[in-house]
């Protein structure tokens, strides 16, 4: 290990100073901002493009379902892929696969082409989601990861907070080609991806050299590890079910708000407040979860989502008359608040239930559930809206959150009954 490599490792392990000033972190944050900017624009714009090409609500929902399916499949192989091609190529490839399809959609003329490009974007998004969190874990020791993950989360949320609500307005006022050109912003992140990848790889080599003796420690037998993984997955069912219910709602809102809200300004306001509420709630609930326990916030989070979804259903049904826009905004804020709460507390709870030896299982299960819920929400609500109405779709989402709440409640009571029975 060179003196420069050692110096970088020591500097990053130094607890002094903010995390965004550490070697590699500014480039990682810049790359993340540009990558998620493109994703944020395309989340509502790609379904709009599908409708513009003659697709119905089902095909519009299918766009983000395909995106998330490709994302999930990619997430399962990212770690192995990166061991083959390295950090720099992995991060640059992610930006390339997120940005180029947006430009490709400018000349797309059929729904099938839009779906293929969505799958390509999903591959890029799968790489960037797994690699981004892994990069923070590589650059920072455990005692500094909290603040570093917070800074990374702001880079992710910042792009979505601004661009997800504004993207439909850009498409409506300036035209779809302009919105799609803006969605190519991940291409601007390629130089930052290369710089970040170089710094991460250098630090990983330094840490690997310093801690090479850790590789000689005995590991659990394969059959014991697989058995523990299976037990961990069973324990994770309640928080994963709760997360999936709420991310289904989030996928429906980000995909279809431009279609069930005819006013462009109201669409921008609703999506902005939804995203802002999610960002604030995700940050704010962290301290409360540490103090009082994450499990205490899962049922309230589901209840808040159900109230918000019911409000949206009432607003778009027309039964509340002139109060519809206000009720729609209130519903968007409530669902956004629930979305942010559940992003935080279900992950914390998953780690608690899985145990230290199965943190990888918890992380993988949580990420897959998050993206699967987003995709299923877009697909299922699109199918319901095409066959019935958006009002019925949001009534169904309300019911899903209520049922998930009862399931979590019953799962929480069963261990208590078992404990009482054992004491008798």
Domain-located, residue 104: yes
- Domain of residue 228 covers 223-412
Report the helix count and the strand count for the chain, using DSSP H and E: 15, 0
Residue 103: the pLDDT is: 95
Helix %, strand %, coil % of the chain (to 5): 90, 0, 10
Same domain, 125 and 271: no
CA distance 52 to 113: 13
Question: Max Cα separation, the chain?
Answer: 71
d(CA 408, CA 298): 8
Q: Domain check: are 259 and 351 in the same one? A: yes
**246 and 167 within one domain:** no
Which residue among 182, 209, 236 closes a domain? Answer: 209
Q: Which of 159, 184, 209 is the last residue of a domain?
A: 209
Same domain, 112 and 238: no
138, 57: one domain: yes
DSSP code at position 54: T
- Are 298 and 345 contacting, i.e. CB atoms less than 8 angstroms apart? yes
Residues 122 and 71: beta-carbon distance below 8 Å = yes
Confirm whether 108 is domain-assigned: yes
CATH code at 171?
A: 1.20.1250.20
Q: What is the DSSP letter of 132?
A: H
Statement to judge: residues 146 and 295 lie in one domain: no
Asked whether residue 260 falls in the same domain as residue 360, the answer is yes
**Count: domains in the chain:** 2
Whether residue 258 sits in one domain with residue 365 = yes
Residue 260 belongs to a domain: yes
pLDDT at 420: 40
Query: Can you give the C-alpha Rg of the chain in angstroms?
Result: 22
> What is the C-alpha to C-alpha distance for residues 47 and 40, in angstroms, rounded to an integer?
13
Whether 246 and 320 map to the same domain: the answer is: yes
How far apart (Å, rounded) are the C-alpha atoms in residues 299 and 274? 20
Mark 93-114 as b/e (b = at least 16 C-beta within 10 Å): bbbbbbbbbbebbeebeebebb
Instruction: Answer yes or no: do 303 and 191 share one domain.
Output: no
Sheet strands (E) in 272-398: none
Query: Cβ atoms within 10 A of the Cβ of 344, count?
Result: 21
Q: How far is CA 423 from the centre of its chain?
A: 42
pLDDT along the chain (424 residues), means of 10: 45 54 83 93 90 85 87 85 88 96 93 94 90 73 57 76 84 92 95 91 68 49 53 76 91 82 83 87 75 86 95 88 88 94 81 65 75 80 81 92 90 54 44
Q: What is the pLDDT of residue 9?
A: 46
Other beta carbons within 10 Å of 2: 11
Residues 203 and 257 in one domain: no
Nearest to 88 by CA among 240, 199, 249: 199
**Phi and psi for 369 in degrees, rounded to 5?**
-65, -40
Report yes or no on 3 lying in a domain. no
Among residues 209, 241, 261, the one where a domain terminates is: 209
Return d(Cα 104, Cα 65) in angstroms, integer: 19
Place of tokens 């907070």: 161
Residue 334 CA to residue 101 CA, distance in Å, equals 33
Residue 215 resides in a domain: no
Q: Are residues 65 and 170 in the same domain?
A: yes
């Amino acid at each position: 290990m060179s003196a420069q490599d050692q110096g970088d490792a020591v500097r990053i392990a130094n607890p002094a100073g903010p995390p965004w000033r550490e070697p590699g972190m500014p480039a990682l944050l810049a790359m993340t901002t540009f990558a998620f900017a493109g994703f944020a624009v395309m989340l509502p714009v790609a379904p709009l493009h599908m409708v513009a090409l003659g697709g119905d609500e089902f095909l519009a929902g299918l766009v983000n379902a395909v995106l998330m399916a490709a994302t999930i499949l990619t997430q399962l192989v990212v770690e192995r892929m990166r061991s083959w091609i390295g950090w720099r190529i992995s991060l640059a490839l992610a930006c390339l696969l997120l940005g180029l399809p947006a430009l490709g959609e400018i000349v797309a003329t059929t729904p099938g082409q839009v779906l293929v490009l969505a799958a390509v974007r999903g591959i890029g998004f799968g790489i960037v989601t797994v690699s981004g969190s892994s990069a923070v874990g590589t650059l920072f020791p455990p005692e500094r990861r909290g603040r570093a993950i917070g800074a990374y989360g702001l880079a992710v949320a910042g792009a979505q907070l601004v661009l997800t609500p504004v993207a439909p307005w850009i498409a409506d006022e300036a035209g779809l080609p302009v919105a799609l050109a803006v969605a190519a912003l991940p291409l601007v992140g390629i130089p930052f991806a290369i710089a970040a990848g170089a710094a991460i790889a250098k630090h990983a080599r330094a840490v690997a050299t310093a801690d090479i003796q850790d590789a000689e420690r005995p590991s659990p037998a394969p059959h014991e590890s697989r058995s523990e993984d299976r037990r961990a997955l069973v324990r994770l069912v309640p928080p994963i079910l709760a997360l999936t219910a709420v991310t289904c709602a989030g996928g429906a809102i980000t995909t279809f708000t431009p279609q069930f809200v005819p006013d462009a300004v109201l669409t921008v306001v609703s999506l902005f407040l939804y995203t802002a509420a999610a960002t604030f709630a995700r940050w704010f609930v962290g301290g409360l979860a540490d103090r009082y326990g994450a499990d205490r916030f899962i049922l309230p989070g589901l209840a808040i989502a159900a109230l918000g979804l019911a409000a949206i259903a009432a607003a778009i049904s027309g039964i509340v008359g002139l109060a519809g826009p206000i009720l729609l905004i209130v519903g968007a804020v409530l669902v956004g608040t629930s979305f942010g709460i559940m992003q935080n507390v279900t992950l914390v709870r998953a780690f608690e239930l899985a145990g230290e030896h199965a943190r990888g299982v918890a992380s993988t299960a949580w990420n897959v559930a998050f993206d699967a819920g987003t995709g299923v929400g877009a697909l299922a609500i699109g199918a319901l809206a095409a066959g019935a109405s958006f009002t019925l779709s949001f009534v169904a989402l309300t019911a899903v959150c209520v049922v998930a709440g009862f399931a979590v409640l019953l799962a929480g009571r069963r261990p208590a009954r078992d404990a009482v029975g054992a004491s008798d």
